Amino acid sequence: MTSNETMLMTDFYEYTMAYAYFKENKHEEIAYFDMFVRKIPDGGGYLIANGLHRFIDFIQNFHFSEEQLAYLSSTGYFDDEFIQYLRTMKMDIDVWAVPEGTPVFANEPMVTIRGKLIQAQIVETILLIFMNYSTLVTTKASRIVAASRGRAVLEFGSRRAHGLDAAKEGARACYIAGAKGTACTLSGQQYGVPVSGTVAHSYIQLHDSEYDAFYQYAKIAPDNCVLLVDTYDTLHSGIPNAIRVAKEVLIPNGHRLKGIRIDSGDLAYLSKKARKMLDAEGLTDAQIVVSNSLDEFLIDDLILQDAKIDTFGVGENMITAKCTPVLVGV
């Protein structure tokens, strides 16, 4: 969605109130609005503010198209004088805000708006849209990163995000919270978030054997060789085949097995067995990546079990901020 498309992404009462201010001749009085949250979700104690970047872009590119003005006129709520005022209105407000990535607490303003009443009112909904979602996901991701205790966290949630915009912005939010990268290509292109990815189970199933899939990928991408080892049997097929490819393809050609990924099963048990198997073959530098519906609680449990995990790939629970689906910023 472009900046101009967001002009009508607002509660209709913002415009009916703006019209009332205009007709009462109060529309150019100076007003202040604070944006804050009354209650921190999940008893977390803090929020990580985010979303300001899109609001600033909206303010800087604020203008109505003729199509938008025609729609507002067609509703029958507004007279021609008001529509003409909107047509020529130039956004001129002051915005004070904590920097993105800043911890904030309940009832503490994240953003303060000062400006003409009509303008400060119109931007209310769009400010809350941008700040509420981004702050919610950044806060959830911050808790997940903290639970990982220094181990890397990657954002894998695009396919479970609540729409295209949520996927892109959610990946950025997770990066601000400390995730090392994302699977979302668009967030990489637009925001510079480091992107990463290798292969899915379908890639392995489309080859004659698991070994053949690993062999082909190792030849094609020897410096990005993280092999997904749980398509068939993690311990008796996946890891042995990964070790075999490392010895037969990667090492003889001056490369190393970057790692393996486990996407199912008892992750603590499998990671411990995997670490022993890799180390026994001299692959002590191969990383172990795990994924599959992880959150801060499961990650904490895995670490308490002394799981041998280097990187956590976290998807739906982070990008949707499960278990709290909404941040009630006002």
Domain shared by 205 and 287, yes or no: yes
What letter represents residue 60's amino acid?
A: Q
Q: What integer pLDDT is reported at residue 135 of this predicted model? A: 96
Query: Residues 252-273: what's their mean pLDDT?
Result: 98
Q: Which of 102, 134, 166 corresponds to the end of one domain? A: 134
First-residue to last-residue Cα distance in the chain: 23
Instruction: Flag whether pLDDT at 1 surpasses 90.
Output: no
Domain shared by 186 and 311, yes or no: yes
Q: What integer pLDDT is reported at residue 36 of this predicted model? A: 95
Domain shared by 292 and 159, yes or no: yes
Q: What integer pLDDT is reported at residue 3 of this predicted model? A: 47
CB-based contact 60:93 (threshold 8 Å): no
- How many domains does one find in the chain? 2
pLDDT per position as a tens digit, 4-43? 678 899 999 999 999 999 999 999 999 999 999 998 988 8
- How many CB atoms lie under 10 A from the CB of residue 293? 13
pLDDT per position as a tens digit, 118-168? 999 999 999 999 999 999 999 999 999 999 999 999 999 999 999 999 999
Helix axes 124-147, 52-60, angle to 10 degrees: 150
Q: What integer pLDDT is reported at residue 250 of this predicted model? A: 98
Query: Residues 299-315: what's their mean pLDDT?
Result: 97
Domain shared by 69 and 210, yes or no: no
Q: Which of 134, 157, 172 corresponds to the end of one domain? A: 134
Integer-rounded Cα Rg, in Å, for the chain is 25
Parallel/antiparallel/unpaired status of strands 226-228 and 152-155: unpaired
Q: What are the structure tokens assigned to 269, written together? A: 């048990």
324: in domain? no
Per DSSP, the three-state class of 289 is strand
Domain harbouring 121, CATH code? 3.20.140.10
Domain shared by 170 and 113, yes or no: no
Domain shared by 46 and 88, yes or no: yes
Q: What integer pLDDT is reported at residue 4 of this predicted model? A: 65
Is the bond preceding residue 323 a cis peptide, omega within 30 degrees?
yes
In which residue are the tokens 């308490």 written? Answer: 304
Rounded mean pLDDT of the chain?
95
CA atoms of 144 and 140, how far apart (whole Å): 6
Percent of the chain with pLDDT over 70: 99
CB-based contact 231:205 (threshold 8 Å): yes
Q: What integer pLDDT is reported at residue 163 of this predicted model? A: 93
Half-sphere exposure of 322 (CA within 13 A, CB side): 17
326: in domain? no
Domain shared by 122 and 170, yes or no: no
CB-based contact 159:126 (threshold 8 Å): no
DSSP label at residue 234: I
Q: What integer pLDDT is reported at residue 5 of this predicted model? A: 72
Q: What integer pLDDT is reported at residue 41 of this predicted model? A: 84
pLDDT per position as a tens digit, 37-78? 998 988 889 999 999 999 999 999 999 999 999 999 999 999
pLDDT per position as a tens digit, 181-238? 999 999 999 999 999 999 999 999 999 999 999 999 999 999 999 999 999 999 999 9
327: in domain? no
What letter represents residue 150's amino acid?
A: G
Domain shared by 43 and 147, yes or no: no
pTM of the model: 0.93
Domain shared by 169 and 262, yes or no: yes
In 3D space, the residue among 143, 166, 121 whose CA is nearest the CA of residue 48 turns out to be 143
CA atoms of 49 and 70, how far apart (whole Å): 36
Which residues pair with residue 287 across a beta bridge?
259
Domain shared by 281 and 142, yes or no: yes
- Domain holding 175, by residue range, is 138-319
CB-based contact 211:201 (threshold 8 Å): no
In which residue are the tokens 């603590």 written? Answer: 268
Domain shared by 115 and 87, yes or no: yes
Instruction: Flag whether pLDDT at 316 surpasses 80.
Output: yes
Q: Which of 1-10, 160-169, 252-261, 282-291 has the lowest mean pLDDT?
A: 1-10
Classify burial at 207, counting beta carbons within 10 Å of its beta carbon; exposed 0-12, middle 13-18, buried 19 or more: middle
Which strand ranges, in their side-by-side order, compose the sheet holding 30-35?
30-35, 111-116, 93-97
CA atoms of 225 and 250, how far apart (whole Å): 9
Per DSSP, the three-state class of 38 is coil
Domain harbouring 302, CATH code? 3.20.20.70
Q: Which of 111, 134, 157 corresponds to the end of one domain? A: 134
Contacts of 20 (CB under 8 A, 6+ apart): none
Domain shared by 80 and 160, yes or no: no
* Burial per residue of 138-151, b for 16 or more beta-carbon CB atoms within 10 angstroms, e otherwise: bbbbbbbbebbeeb
